[in-house]
Structure 1
Amino acid sequence: MLFLEELFDTVSRFLEAGGDVLWFIAAALVFMWSMIIERLWYFSFTYPKQARLLVAKWESRKDTTSWHAHRIREAWISQMKEKLHSGLLVIKTIVAICPMIGLLGTVTGMVNVFEIMALSGTGNARLMAAGITQATIPTMAGMVAALSGLFISSRLEYSANVHAQELADHMPHH
């Protein structure tokens, strides 16, 4: 229990030092990772069942060689590709936006530094330090948030393309 209290205290001080912009980064991070976990769940558990059913449906067709059958196959594969890629663009967009939110924190922190300089002059380094901290922490947090999703979003996109190709390979047309 003491560990959780210390962790909560550390996170609270970090959020306070970084300013209100960190809450937006945290919200984007939670949303992004929720979507990533959903996609991982889909690829691991839901998609394999759907793919098996679709392949079985294709194999149970009497006609797999006509022009009409080929268009049905293409439509089914296209529908599965759409399901596989669902949400990936949103994840990639959040990855791209996180550093921008961090830069917003940098701007607001620097505005605070300039306000302190205007009120107290340039000689009070202690007062300026809080503003500089508020300017650098959101930038770092935005970059870390983006990096945490960058690799996995690329991997998810690759997996979606591989699954779509494998599905097409399992539905032969003659």
Structure 2
Amino acid sequence: MATLLDAYEAILIFLETGGDVLTIIGVTILVMWTLILERVWFFQTQYRANRRRTLAHWQGRADRKSWCALRIRQALISRCKQSLTATLPLIQALVAICPLLGLLGTVTGMIEVFSSISLVGTGNARVMASGVSKATIPTMAGMVGALSGLFAITYLKRFAQRESELIEDRLTID
């Protein structure tokens, strides 16, 4: 229990050191990873069942060569692609927002440094150091969030592309 309290205190100190923008970055990364984990869960559970239903529906059709059958095949493939890529654009946008929020943290931290210099001069290094930390910590957090999200979105997009091609290949035309 003491370890959890120590970890909680360390996180609070880190958030305080990074400023308000760091909290926004943390919430953004939390939302991004929640969506990423939702996609992984969807791929592992819901999509497999959806793929089985789609294949069974297509295999159960007697007519697979007519114009109507080809349109139905196209609609089935399109629904599968849509379900695979449902939240990927949002995740991609959150990945792109993370470094921008880090840059916002850099700007606000540097404004604090310049403000402290104008009030107390360049002689007080401690005041300047707190502003510099408010400038660098959000930048680092934004980059870490963007890099981790970039790896995840690349994996998710490749998986969705591979599954789309696979379902297209499996819905054969006799």
Bin of the TM-score, shorter chain as denominator length: over 0.9
Would you say 1:151 and 2:162 are equivalent positions? no
With normalisation by structure 1, the TM-score equals 0.98
Structure 1 runs (4+) deviating above 3 angstroms are: none
Deviation of the 1:114 alpha carbon: 0.5
Gaps of 5+ in 1: none
Report the CA distance between 1:46 and its aligned residue.
0.5
1:18-167 correspondence to structure 2 within 5 Å? 18-167=18-167
Q: What is the TM-score normalised by the length of structure 2? A: 0.98
Q: AA paired with 1:51?
A: R
Distance in 2 separating the partners of 1:18 and 1:82: 39
Displacement of 1:49 after TM fit? 0.5
Please, what is the CA RMSD of the aligned residues? 0.7
Number of matched residues?
Answer: 174
- Distance apart, 1:126 and its partner CA: 1.2
For residue 167 of structure 2, give the secondary structure of its aligned residue in structure 1.
Answer: helix
Q: Report how far residue 148 of structure 1 moved.
A: 1.4
In structure 2, runs of 5+ residues without a counterpart are: none
Aligned-residue identity in percent: 47
Provide, for residues 10-46 of structure 1, a one-character-per-residue CA deviation record: whole Å limited to 9, x for no partner: 1010000000001110110110011001100111010
